[in-house]
Amino acid sequence: MIEKIVSWSIHNRFFVWMGIMLIVAGGIYSIRETPVDALPDLSENQVIILTEFMGRNPKIIEDQITYPLVSNLQGIPLIKSIRATSMFGMSFIFVVFKDDVDIYWARTRVLERLNYAQKFLPQGVIPGLGPDGTGLGHVFWYTLNSNDYNLGELRALQDWYVKFALQNVEGVSEVASFGGFQKRYQVTVNPHKLVYFGISLMDVTRAVSANNRDVGGSLYEMNATGYLIRGQGYITSLEDIKDIPIGTYKSIPVKLSDIADVQMSSDLRLGIVEENGEGEVVGGIVVMRFGENAKDVIERTKIRMKDIEKGLPPGVKFKTAYDRSNLISAAISTLKEALWQEILIVCITVILFLFSIRSGLVAIFSILLSVLIGFMLMKLFGVTSNIMSLGGIALAIGDVVDPGIVMAENAYRALTNRVLKNQKT
């Protein structure tokens, strides 16, 4: 079989060169299009469901949130397992699918089932899907540094400006904020004043909720002109909250400021974020979308950050906390270094032992074509270029060289024997 292939290749050089050109073109295309990452993604093919029910203990979360959802998620096709965790105020459900299932098809099926299961949950509780990323999706971390702004102001800048701008980057699934203080309005009710004015706590809650909205009116016509009437009631300051009417006491209106202290405060924090032990910082985590090229996503993120930095307040700068592209570049550099070193060693070895440059070129071309074919197969089977796959190619180069050297030496010896035999005759 091998003799027939060799014989056909010798008599059909045009088709052999055409095959070589196709391999080169396909290999270069595969190298450009194959996703590049530092580490192989071995995480499970899963969809995460997050449900918040703040103020409830884990037992209530388990009975009223986790159990109804897990029970109704059973029966989705191609599911491998379902795992769930209940904690204070939150429920996490991990729906693990088989490895060959498309992640977006899986998210669609889970979302369909959630629409049905939501009627079994308490009123106002809405489950949501986690980002379409993987366990290795955290490709870039950054912080906001400034000596002129406090942690609350930096967190507001991150949540309402930087985060939304970076989420528009192609390939980014989510930008998760961390650190700092999240602002909120805090109403501290005095129970003694509630008893004195005869007002219940539920009346206070309903009044605050009802006064934080706009209402629409009808159309009022005057002098052939129509005026759209609407009531503006959204809260914009502390004074708006303090002036909310709660009820009446002896025909006198009772405002919220009469029974409670209203102030601006920070949301409850369960931890802090420090950088190198130098103090607290505010920043974000760029989560890559499933199946994207990590190196390209990081480069696009850096370009967008340069544009965002122009709109930041004076004195606020970005600082990179973690950049996976450095590790990716190091892995690619290692492969390039191993490739040219092995090509050089093989070339010198073949030339020294065979005294034939053409035989050395045969071994060199076999290395290059084998590497290109390897990238084509990686692209075909969806394998990313990472430390493991690139390291495997570097190690396999030595095995690829051996047959080329043996075949070149065998052909060189056969030709030499034939020449010697012709000389004797």
- Any idea what the CATH number is for the domain that residue 255 is in? 3.30.2090.10
Is residue 288 a part of any domain in this protein?
no
For residues 129 and 188, state if they share a domain.
no
Amino acid at the residue 231: G
For residues 202 and 259, state if they share a domain.
yes
Is residue 409 a part of any domain in this protein?
yes
Is residue 141 a part of any domain in this protein?
no
For residues 27 and 51, state if they share a domain.
no
Return the structure tokens found at 404.
């080329």
Domain endpoint, select from 266, 297, 314: 266
For residues 124 and 77, state if they share a domain.
yes
pTM to 2 decimals?
Answer: 0.78
* Number of domains the chain is built from: 3
For residues 28 and 68, state if they share a domain.
no
Is residue 358 a part of any domain in this protein?
yes
For residues 345 and 390, state if they share a domain.
yes
Is residue 38 a part of any domain in this protein?
no
Beta carbons of 286 and 297 less than 8 angstroms apart: yes
Is residue 169 a part of any domain in this protein?
no
What pLDDT does 354 receive?
67
How many distinct helices (H) and strands (E) make up the chain?
A: 15, 14
For residues 26 and 76, state if they share a domain.
no
Is residue 317 a part of any domain in this protein?
no
Domain endpoint, select from 241, 266, 291: 266
For residues 115 and 188, state if they share a domain.
no
What pLDDT does 383 receive?
81
Check the CA dihedral 27-33-39-40 and report its sign.
negative
Q: What is the pLDDT of residues 285-320, one digit of tens each?
A: 999 998 888 888 999 999 999 999 999 999 899 999
In order, the DSSP letters of 169-238 are STTEEEEEEESS--EEEEEEE-HHHHHHHT--HHHHHHHHHHTSS-EEEEEEEETTEEEEEEE-----SH
Domain endpoint, select from 251, 266, 281: 266
Is residue 158 a part of any domain in this protein?
no
Residue labelled with tokens 């079994």? 120
CATH code of the domain containing 80: 3.30.70.1430
What pLDDT does 249 receive?
83
DSSP-based three-state secondary structure for 223: coil
- As averages over each run of 10 residues, the pLDDT of the chain (425 residues) reads 76 86 90 81 87 89 93 90 91 92 92 89 90 86 91 91 92 91 89 90 88 78 80 83 88 90 84 85 92 89 93 92 88 77 74 72 79 87 79 75 75 78 73
Sorted by sequence, the CB contacts under 8 Å of residue 110 that are 6+ apart come out as 47, 49, 73, 76, 95, 129
Helix (H) or strand (E) holding 133: none
Q: Using the CB atoms, write b or e for 388-422: b if 16+ within 10 Å.
A: ebbeebbeebeebbeebbebbbeebeeeeeeeeee
CATH code of the domain containing 23: 1.20.1640.10
Chain center to CA of 228: 45
Its domain, for residue 246, covers: 183-266
Return the structure tokens found at 171.
């390939």
